[in-house]
Amino acid sequence: MSLTEKFPENSDGTILFHLPKNMFERCFSARDCRRLEEVIGCHYPESRAGESLLSTWDRLAPQARAVVTGWDSPPITDEMLAVAPELEAIVHSAGSVRPFIPDTIWASGVRVATCNDALGKGVAETALGLMIAGLKGFFPNGNLTRQGHWQETIPATGFGRVRELYDVTIGIIGASRTGRHVIRLLSEFEADVVLFDPTLSAADAALMDVRLVSLDELMRVSDVVSLHAPALPQLRHMLGAREFSAMKDDAIFINTARGMLVDEAALIAELETMRISAILDITYPEPPSMTSLFRTLPNVTLLPHIAGAISTGNFRQGGSTVDQLLELLHGQTMSGEINHDQFVFMA
């Protein structure tokens, strides 16, 4: 699509896209941009050849009603806010907005929204797929079939054992946006879902039709443990030797959240016993070293951080951003709007 400026005669202010051109094109479809252009003028990235995003800010921010940030956006500073007197909202077209806004934003009156919900849907869909694949033993049995084997080689226990997503217990760690989407998806299956999240009450969990349990109980009773907690400093290594040793024989650990939440040495030590298996989309650091046992242990499926949106799913983020901008322009609460209290618990 053409990255030109458009100003309808009835526009009241403008929308400034404060993100690199490649990120804009990765997340925003022509269809979604047209929905926004019907209501208000839009300044797209690199609307003037050779102009940096920061110099664009100085020229265009004074008229902006809302600013869109995204991956690789330059952080917004107090000095930048000072030249944007009409600014009502910052909508972050990705997940964590923490690196992109100053702490003073909460006292400025500028509203903040993110696309965590849109991103969470994609990760949740992947997590559900990995649960089914893990329980069915897709990865090890696919390798056995490639080697010429057939059903006679399917193990009765251990890695590769075949089960369905029926009459099993699924443990969800963290009622994040992603965790809540996973719970909703699991409502279509006949499985027992337990949840650990110290920020929730039993009544909150009941509204989601799940049972709130301690982390110890979740690790002990779950056939699948799926991690969806935020990457906060206080949660570093929240899962360690105690938690992994408590897991049931043949249980599956799935991490589509962040590697820093896991004591990876402790996880590897438990995996070496071959009691449990793991499906890891994320490690710490990334990528893992070439000598990491995550690459060689037979009961580990290691994926290259693809659970989140990296392709067509990115347009879900753009669509969510436009939806929220239209909500703002129509005087509504943005669906991804956050306040300072929520921000404190976000990664």
Q: Is residue 307 part of a domain?
A: no
Q: Is residue 74 part of a domain?
A: yes
Which helix (DSSP H) or strand (DSSP E) does residue 325 occupy?
A: helix 314-329
Say whether both 77 and 178 belong to one domain.
no
Say whether both 252 and 335 belong to one domain.
no
Say whether both 234 and 160 belong to one domain.
yes
Look up residue 32 and give its two tokens: 């979604």
Report the CATH number that the domain containing residue 281 is assigned in CATH.
3.40.50.720
Q: Which amino acid is at 305?
A: H
The separation between CA 48 and the C-alpha centre of its own chain, rounded to angstroms, equals 33
40 vs 11: CA distance, rounded Å: 5
Angle at 284 between CA 280 and CA 288, to 5 degrees: 75
Domain count, the chain: 2
The separation between CA 98 and the C-alpha centre of its own chain, rounded to angstroms, equals 14
Q: Is residue 94 part of a domain?
A: yes
Q: What is the pTM of this model?
A: 0.90
Say whether both 18 and 125 belong to one domain.
no
Helix axes 138-146, 116-136, angle to 10 degrees: 50
Q: What is the pLDDT of residue 325?
A: 98
Contact 73/19 with Cβ under 8 angstroms?
yes
Say whether both 173 and 232 belong to one domain.
yes
pLDDT in tens, the chain (347 residues): 333 344 343 456 899 999 999 999 999 999 999 999 999 999 999 755 456 888 899 999 999 999 999 999 999 999 999 999 999 999 999 998 999 999 999 999 999 999 999 999 999 999 999 999 999 999 999 999 999 999 999 999 988 999 999 999 999 999 999 999 999 999 999 999 999 999 999 999 999 999 999 999 999 999 999 999 999 999 999 999 999 999 999 999 999 999 999 999 999 999 999 999 999 999 999 999 999 999 999 999 999 999 998 899 999 999 999 999 999 999 999 999 999 988 887 76
Say whether both 285 and 322 belong to one domain.
no
Look up residue 329 and give its two tokens: 């322009």
The boundaries of the domain holding residue 123 are: 119-302
3-state class of 62 per DSSP? helix
Say whether both 129 and 262 belong to one domain.
yes
Say whether both 32 and 128 belong to one domain.
no
Contact 230/174 with Cβ under 8 angstroms?
yes
Say whether both 175 and 280 belong to one domain.
yes
* DSSP designation for 151: G
Q: Which amino acid is at 116?
A: N
Say whether both 136 and 266 belong to one domain.
yes
Helix axes 314-329, 30-37, angle to 10 degrees: 10
CB neighbourhood size of 24 (10 A): 21
CB neighbourhood size of 6 (10 A): 18
Q: Is residue 276 part of a domain?
A: yes
Helices in 93-201 by DSSP H: which ranges? 105-108, 116-136, 138-146, 177-186
Q: What is the pLDDT of residue 344?
A: 81
CB neighbourhood size of 91 (10 A): 27
Say whether both 249 and 135 belong to one domain.
yes
Q: What is the pLDDT of residue 174?
A: 98
Q: Is residue 8 part of a domain?
A: no
Angle at 266 between CA 260 and CA 269, to 5 degrees: 140
Strand duo 224-227 + 211-212: pairing: unpaired
User: pLDDT, tens digit, for every residue of 86-130?
Assistant: 999 999 999 989 999 999 999 999 999 999 999 999 999 999 999
Contact 75/320 with Cβ under 8 angstroms?
no
189 vs 187: CA distance, rounded Å: 5
Say whether both 331 and 220 belong to one domain.
no
Angle at 280 between CA 224 and CA 124, to 5 degrees: 65
189 vs 127: CA distance, rounded Å: 14
154 vs 304: CA distance, rounded Å: 27
Q: Is residue 4 part of a domain?
A: no
Q: Is residue 5 part of a domain?
A: no
Q: Which amino acid is at 280?
A: L
**Which residue, 302, 320, 335, sits at the end of a domain?**
302
Q: Is residue 152 part of a domain?
A: yes
